[in-house]
Structure 1
Amino acid sequence: MVRRDFYDDADAPPPNSVVPAASVVVVDDSDRILVHRRRDNGLWALPGGVLELGESLSGCAVREVKEETGLDIEVTGIVGVYSDPLHVYAYDDGEVRQEFSVCFAAHVTGGELSISDESYDVTFCTPAEIEQLPMVDSIRLRVVDFLSGDTPAIR
């Protein structure tokens, strides 16, 4: 499914859903951050996804990282809560979601780095490398919030 992100864009379609989601800033032993290049929009992002019935948001974060990157993680904190109504994403099936995501901090505990059916590439990057990657502004903001250390952010 194709996804298009809009932020404070007069041409954005009006949202018709709000879906709880988790994203994760995963760091390795060298303080690099895990990112993946998404198949639905071709942009780089933090791993994450939609909360499923019967799971906690932190459990969602653990599951999504495993599904999208092959890595096992331990959640260590909250980076922030992101629910800006000016950020919506439109899917080709007609769904237009208002952003609602809790971003967690985590470190790797195991697994093997691998791509999935949701990603073209998965890698760890330094903050300087992340600055050069094509990325949705709201995802980049989560990285900035994490690096600032002033967590949790409420946006």
Structure 2
Amino acid sequence: MSYLSELRAALGTRPLFSVGASAAVQDERQRVLLQRRGDDGLWGLPGGGLELGETFEGAACRELNEETGLDTPLTFWQAVSGPHLYHRYPNGDQVYFVGGLCRGHLPAAALAQAAPDDSGETLELAWFDLAHLPTISANVNKQTLSLLRSEVGLPPLPLDWVPPKPTGEHLRELRAVVGPRPLFAPGANVLLRDEQGRVLLLRSGDMRRWTLPGGSMELGETFEQAARRELKEEAGLEVSELRALKLYIGPAYRFTYPHGDVVDYVSQLFEGQFMGGALTLPADEITEAAWFAPDQLPNAEELSGPLIGANLREWI
């Protein structure tokens, strides 16, 4: 049973994050490979949900093979998130996609060797010119195709209506039902620098270790919205601009909290410039804040896990 299917067995059709990967494969004429889906009969990109421990590239290659029988190297392109990526499947299941878009190329003639698996997910496969697309399924496919269309000067595809953004603490609400089992935790961290090039670190109240401002995404948020909200909640600070640095995902970033909850982080790191203001720390969550010069960072044992270690090691 897949990761998402296991959650559905406990949680029903309620909105969940669907951490997924799409394969944007183009031929020598820049046509895009689309599949006609078995669930709604409409067209979309090959792709699907990640299993715990997978990367976006690995999942995109697996889904491409399962849904088309074809193989080609795929490279990570960009992440997508936000309220417009809500989708309700014909069976009633609701998701907010958090997607990793991957790209690759195949010759047009490769389609003759296509052999989708027998799951029924793929009814038909075809190459389509970006200017002449069929009826597309789900906003996540429309956004991806719009990004491709923008590269050749074509307008974006109109998106479907989306419902109001839900409220509540998504991860906490899931834990109340499924317990400490491993869960994907989409979220964001902020590498905030001051004029001297120092970086802001916060000491967490639960583990007493140093971490970056950041945390889990709520349903309907973008990565950037989550980063801004967490920076405000944890440090009382705002920034005018955030620059995306890298998306971290994969088995290296699994983390077990002291109370036993296990998460597989899907974490976008942003960089921002400190604009002044007083630090305001939530007493129940953050016990201390400090600015660290690049040559005075805490050692690995003082950091709250491999994700924060990688953030600092790669960007400081």
2:270 corresponds to 1:127: no
Q: Describe the shift of the 1:86–1:143 C-alpha distance in structure 2 as closer, same or farther (beyond 3 A).
A: closer
Find the aligned partners of 2:232 and 2:197 in 1 and give their Cα distance.
Answer: 19
How many residues align? The count is 134
Q: Describe the shift of the 1:59–1:84 C-alpha distance in structure 2 as closer, same or farther (beyond 3 A).
A: same
| Alignment RMSD | 2.1
SS in 1 for 2:221: coil
2:308 corresponds to 1:146: no
Find the aligned partners of 1:58 and 1:111 in 2 and give their Cα distance.
Answer: 21
Bigger CA radius of gyration: 2
Q: Is the 8 A contact 2:214 2:230 kept in 1?
A: yes
Of structures 1 and 2, the one scoring higher in RCO (CA 8 A, sep 6+) is 1
Give the drift of 1:48.
0.3
- TM norm structure 2: 0.39
Q: Tell me the residue number matched to 1:104.
A: 270
How much identity, in percent, do the aligned residues show? Answer: 30
Correspondences of 1:1-150 after superposition (within 5 Å): 16-91=182-257, 95-116=261-282, 117-132=284-299, 134-135=302-303, 136-147=305-316
Question: Unpaired runs of 5+ in structure 2?
Answer: 1-179
AA of the residue aligned to 2:237: L
Q: 1:84-126 CA distances to partner (integer Å, 9 max, x unpaired)?
A: 2133223466531112111111112344212212111011111
AA of the residue aligned to 1:103: L
AA of the residue aligned to 1:47: P
More strand by share: 1
AA of the residue aligned to 2:210: W
SS in 1 for 2:220: coil
More helix by share: 2
Q: Describe the shift of the 1:105–1:68 C-alpha distance in structure 2 as closer, same or farther (beyond 3 A).
A: same
